[in-house]
Structure 1
Amino acid sequence: MRKWLPLVAVCLGTFMLLVDVTIVVVALPDMAESLRTSFADLQWVMDVYALALAALLLGVGSLADRAGHRQVYVAGLTLFALASLACGLATGPEALIAFRCVQGVGGAAMLATTTALISSIYHGRDRGVAFGAWGAVSGAASAAGPIMGGLLTEHLDWRWIFFVNLPISVLAIAMTLRCVAPTPPRRGRGVDLPGLAAFTVAAGSATYALIKGNDYGWTSGATLGLFGVAALALLAFLLIETRREQPLLDLSLFRRASFSGLMAAAVLLSVAAFSYLAYTSLWLQSVRGMGPVAAGLTCLPMSVAAFLVASLSGRFLHDVSPRWTIGVGMLLIGAGALLQATVDAGSDWTVLVPGLAVTGIGVGLATPMLASAAMASVGPERGGMASGAVNTARQLGNALGIAVLGVVFQSGLTSAVRDHGAGSVADPSATADALAGGQAGAVVAHAGPAERDLLGQLVHEAFAAGLRQTFLVSGALGILGGLVALALVRRPAKPAAQQQRPQPAAREAVPEMS
């Protein structure tokens, strides 16, 4: 059993940082009330963390290849713990958002090194088991976040969703230092800072434009300018990477159809499976009147299904082509979102359960193979790049997905208020903004006694319309990801029997993804 202690150390950090992607979901209404800001403004508490992860994973992965994977992992754990403490002590939304960004920096250092550490420690069949366990933890973590967040928020305080990271971080650091051998640093030219800066500007500008587009106007100079900055920064990133001897991301990898398919599936997985949870939680708490624990527990079917399926798939399906595990998993994720699109004005939380369970099965199938297939595309010395690439795709998908689905949700909600609120709502746009900001109770309470029943029905109809559109878009993107995976992803060319034979990492052949 001692051989699995390094895996436990790696999975502890993985679970913690991925839980923090979604743990704030059910706590946002309490945060907004405590910090005297709106749910909409606190969207950045979710997005800035995912954005920091996405923007820095490639750079930190490159740094880890040179400085040593264990060293960077421990540094990330330390920074993550300190930032978590600062988040829990924050007294205003600006400080909370800033420290969440720092927390994302620490999370990037951890996430960029986890799969590289597993790949270097385990070989043959043990590697398949290890990636299966890692995938189970990864798949369950994001779904478990709302459950943990609800329990901590309702029984303690929203600040404990951050404080809980401290003992876990200490345990993970101690186990890593004791059980994981230090990786020797490699000489290199350093991190590609120009490429890192260009990628960060591109991702940040695009996300900010999507989040603020409704406020600024989609055709306003500010919104179009932000999208223009994002496009120019992305172009600069591509030009920089083609001219660097040691780039953040070797763009030639995208000439392989399989690698491109893996990256596309990773982006769409996060959007289709997790990005709508913030808006589902808002409906459950603001409209259905559920507490944080009850709202979080609605994600239990997804969390349990993802954990069980990922555990079994890592053990029994490691010889199956990633084309099938990822492709079928993504199709199930899309189907799960579409099942939830049956929500209507009279629905309660039970309408979500079948879809969440199906989505969890899909997450459990797709997540473990995404990581191992990406690692199979490069040599051991570039493990940080591969790990960073697939995880960057997932976190960028989550950051952009929250923003894009926020636009879709508010559009559906606003349209419903305008269509059904004639005569009962003086300002449909302002009412829709208030509902999207988590103020459904206040909107109904401020109405006259004769109008409350009618306005209450309007709130239910508007939220159902917004959620339906959100689930439909999520479902379509999930199915698109499945079709892309089935069409492009292929098994590595190296025979499976050879892959399972234990060999020193330095002598393992690099599988060709065709």
Structure 2
Amino acid sequence: MATQETVPKAGGESAAGARGWTLAVVCIATFMLMLDLTVVNVALPDMRVSLDADFADLQWVLDSYALTLAAFLLTGGSIADRLGRKRVFNAGFVVFTLASLWCGLSQSILQLNLARGLQGVGAAVLFAVGPALIGHEFRGKDRGKAFGIFGGVVGLAIAFGPLIGGALTDALSWRWIFLVNVPIGVLALAVGALRIRESRNPSGHPVDWPGLVVFSSALGLLVTGFLRGHAEGWDSAPIVSMFTGSGVLLVLFVVIERRRGPAAMLDLSLFRIPTFNGMSAATLLWNATVLSAIFLQIGYLQNVLGFSPLETGVRFLPMTLTLFVVAGVTGLLTARVSPRLLAVVSGTLMAVGLGLVTLVRDDSEWTVLLPSMLVAGVGMGIYQPLRAALSVGMVEPEKAGMSSGIAETFQQVGVALGIAVFGAIFQSRAADSFAASPAAGELGDKAGEFGDAVATGAVGEMAGALPPETAGMVTEAAHSAFVDGLQDVLIASAAVTAVGAVIALLCIRSRDLHESARGDHTLDLDAELRELPELGLSPHVKD
């Protein structure tokens, strides 16, 4: 086992002081990163008008960030273990801050999406290294408390993301949802450079460039295929080629990683740990469903019910504040309650919450979403700190960066694929529903164009050129088609989320945690039926 090398901060900073500063800076970085996952949603309609974007362009605003984030997470964590976590973390902060400035100054949708891709590279480093920095500084119950605070900050960012995005967009411009990162990033970078202690794995290997290139290319082809499938045709040669190429590259990636052995960016031995497999699969599925569901629900509030960005953000507070409170409480429980129990409860509540969106009807008020928001918010609040704690808890401390990077990779791959897959399903279902309406018959050859515009909410603007009676009929049909698509996608999302909960039940267990991360799991599903631990259901027995 490699020896963990720690270089104390000059000036005799106490260990306790360094821990506090590390947690503070990581939380600031995480707040910014999570904010950029949620703050953008409410500004998408304004971006569409300002930059003349279509639905696929708007998906790329989210997916270009999530895609590069996912592609560079593994490398970010591995490089940090080898070159020094503080050094790499600060470099990621510089990239993220400069990319945020570019996003805010972009003059076209192409520029914005390229800038978002670069922003994702910086975010990948911060996402991967942040939990590893916490995991290195804290142990035992203190680690549980630290991740409780960390989870609370994640919840806070999600809680106020739509509200902050709405306020900035309404008061200033959508550009300020990115520009606000610049002064905060500069301040946090200065504090981190002065106060965070360095740590690294001195036996690290060179960067796995072949693995990085092949893995990134595979993800790019996969997500692009889903994003362009509706427009090009799912059985068209380009789309089939993208999916085939992605599959081949993923197989090649596994071959490369096996041959590189200890130098690989992905430690394939982790896949022999049931908890790692279970949490990775659940993380991918839950992020694919929940984040894409929020994306579509925000579209419903703005495009169907006509709320402004700020009004939309206010109406999402029930979900996000619930998430914030529950995440803080859950973080304190991660050292005492079975991770399997927390994961199963989390996934079940998220599935139920997504299923409750089926209560929405064509004439519903926004409050019909409240049951879904509250139930899903509790589930998400339980999941966030649990995922962060498990990501660094299954390996020895010197591999924390790599492990955290893998965990975040599954999370961001889920986000990218979810928005692409469920966005494509939604767009297709909404367009088909509109095409089947009487209003489509009134439009003749223009029906297809109007149907494709349902997903972006642009039908109201297009209907302005129609006679008043026809315009009203078309707008009503577009709203109905949007609701049809939303319900179909959320039913599918709930089913996929439930599958994730079953996987968590069968795979996650406390015994897989590294000794430095084990707590006193007084409520532990793994303790009974030792001969069948994958089916253990007994509480109150120590593992």
Q: What range describes the TM-score normalised by the shorter chain of this pair?
A: over 0.9
Matching residue within 114, 133, 137 for 2:149 = 133
Contact 1:56 1:105 in 2 (8 A): yes
Deviation at 1:348, TM superposition (A): 2.8
Tell me, yes or no, if structure 1 residue 271 matches structure 2 residue 288. Answer: yes
Opposite residue 478 of structure 2, the aligned amino acid is: V
Specify every segment of 5 or more residues in structure 1 that has no aligned partner in the other structure, as ranges: 502-512
Q: Report the CA distance between 1:185 and its aligned residue.
A: 6.1
Query: Which range moved further: 108-117 or 442-451?
Result: 442-451
Cα distance in structure 1, aligned partners of 2:141 and 2:249: 42
Q: Distance in 2 between matches of 1:364 and 1:37?
A: 33
Q: Distance in 1 between matches of 2:485 and 2:519?
A: 48
8 Å contact kept, 2:441–2:447: no
Please report how far the alpha carbon of residue 251 of structure 1 lies from its aligned counterpart in structure 2 after TM superposition. 1.6
Return closer, same or farther for 1:450/1:495 CA change in 2, 3 Å cut-off. closer
2:330 aligns with 313
Which residue of structure 2 lines up, in the alignment, with residue 445 of structure 1? 464
- Taking a change above 3 Å as real, the CA distance of residues 441 and 227 of structure 1, as seen in their structure-2 partners, is same
Does the 8 Å CA contact 1:146/1:296 hold for their aligned counterparts? yes
Corresponding residue for 1:242?
A: 258
Q: Which residue of 1 aligns with 2:499?
A: 480
**Structure-2 residue corresponding to 1:106:** 122
Correspondence 1:412-491 to 2 at 5 A: 412-421=429-438, 422-426=440-444, 427-491=446-510
CA distance in 2, matches of 1:459, 1:4: 52
Query: In structure 2, what is the Cα distance between the partners aligned to 1:260 and 1:130?
Result: 25
* Greater Cα shift, 47-56 or 145-154: 145-154
The one-letter amino acid of 1:425's match is L
Q: Give the equivalent residue in structure 2 for 1:118.
A: 134
Post-superposition Cα deviations, 1:38-70, rounded to whole Å, max 9, x if no partner, equal: 243222111000001101100111111101111
Does structure 1 residue 45 correspond to structure 2 residue 61? yes
The separation in 2 between residues aligned to 1:156 and 1:366, in whole angstroms, is 34
Q: Which runs of 5+ in 2 are unaligned?
A: 1-15, 521-532, 535-543
- Cα deviation 1:293-351 (Å, max 9, x = unaligned): 01122221221111101111111343111111111101111111111122111123212
Any conservation in 2 of the 1:38–1:438 contact (CA below 8 Å)?
no
Find the aligned partners of 1:453 and 1:45 in 2 and give their Cα distance: 31
- Structure-1 separation of matches of 2:334 and 2:214: 39
Range with greater deviation from structure 2 (8-17 or 375-384): 375-384
Q: Classify the secondary structure of the residue corresponding to 1:492.
A: helix
Would the alpha carbon gap of residues 321 and 412 (structure 1) be closer, same or farther in structure 2, given more than 3 Å must change?
Answer: same
The amino acid that maps onto 2:501 is: G
Instruction: Flag the 1:494–1:56 CA change in 2: closer, same or farther, 3 A.
Output: closer
Q: Is the 8 A contact 1:335 1:359 kept in 2?
A: yes
Cα pair distance change 1:256/1:102, threshold 3 Å: same
- Give, in whole Å, the separation in 2 of the partners of 1:337 and 1:193: 39
Deviations 1:427-470 (A, max 9, x none): 43222112223302123323212223322221221011011012
Cα distance in 2, alignment partners of residues 65 and 225 from structure 1: 36
The structure-2 alpha-carbon separation of the partners of 1:24 and 1:326, relative to structure 1 and needing over 3 Å to count, comes to same
SS of the aligned residue for 1:189 comes to coil
SS in structure 2 opposite 1:276?
helix
* Rounded Cα–Cα distance in structure 2 between residues aligned with 1:33 and 1:75: 34
**2:81 and 2:200 in contact (8 A); partners too:** no
Q: Among residues 363, 367, 370, which one is paired with 1:350 in the alignment?
A: 367
Q: Distance in 2 between matches of 1:495 and 1:49?
A: 32
2:422 match:
405
Question: Is 101-110 or 425-434 further displaced after alignment?
Answer: 425-434
Contact in 1 for aligned 2:334/2:386 (Cα 8 Å): no
1:322 aligns with 2:339: yes
Q: 1:500 to 1:21 in 2, by over 3 A?
A: same
Kept after mapping to 2: 8 A contact 1:333/1:358:
yes
C-alpha RMSD of the superposition: 2.0
The alpha-carbon distance between structure 1 residues 497 and 371, as it changes in their structure 2 partners (threshold 3 A), is: closer
1:105 aligned partner, one-letter code: V
For the structure 1 residues 57 and 495, does the alpha-carbon distance in structure 2 shift closer, same or farther, using more than 3 Å as the test? closer
Given the two structures, how large is their TM-score scaled by the length of structure 2? 0.89
The residue correspondences of 1:376-395 to structure 2 (distance < 5 A) are: 376-395=393-412
In 2, distance between residues paired with 1:357 and 1:494?
Answer: 31
Partner of 1:21: 37
Cα distance in 2 for partners of 1:498, 1:102 equals 34
Measure, in 2, the Cα distance between the counterparts of 1:452 and 1:299.
30
Find the aligned partners of 2:34 and 2:206 in 1 and give their Cα distance: 28
Partner of 1:508: none
Q: Which moved more, 1:279-288 or 1:330-339?
A: 279-288
Q: TM-score, normalised by structure 1?
A: 0.94
Q: Deviation of residue 424 (structure 1)?
A: 2.8
- Aligned with 1:145 (options 134, 149, 161): 161
Report whether the alignment pairs 1:299 with 2:322: no
Q: How does 1:61-100 map to 2 (within 5 A)?
A: 61-100=77-116
SS of corresponding position for 1:219: coil
Q: Among all aligned residue pairs of Structure 1 and Structure 2, give the percentage whose two residues are the same amino acid.
A: 40
* Distance change (3 Å), C-alpha of 1:30 and 1:195: same
Amino acid at match of 1:119: G
Aligned to 2:538: none
Deviation at 1:496, TM superposition (A): 8.4
> 1:143 and 1:163 mapped to 2: Cα distance?
20
SS of 1:190's equivalent in the other structure is coil
In 2, Cα distance between equivalents of 1:154 and 1:496: 50
The equivalences for 1:148-167 within 5 A come to: 148-167=164-183
Task: State how far apart, in whole Å, the 2-side matches of 1:498 and 1:215 are.
Answer: 48
Residue identity in the other structure for 1:287? V
The structural deviation recorded for 1:233 is 0.8
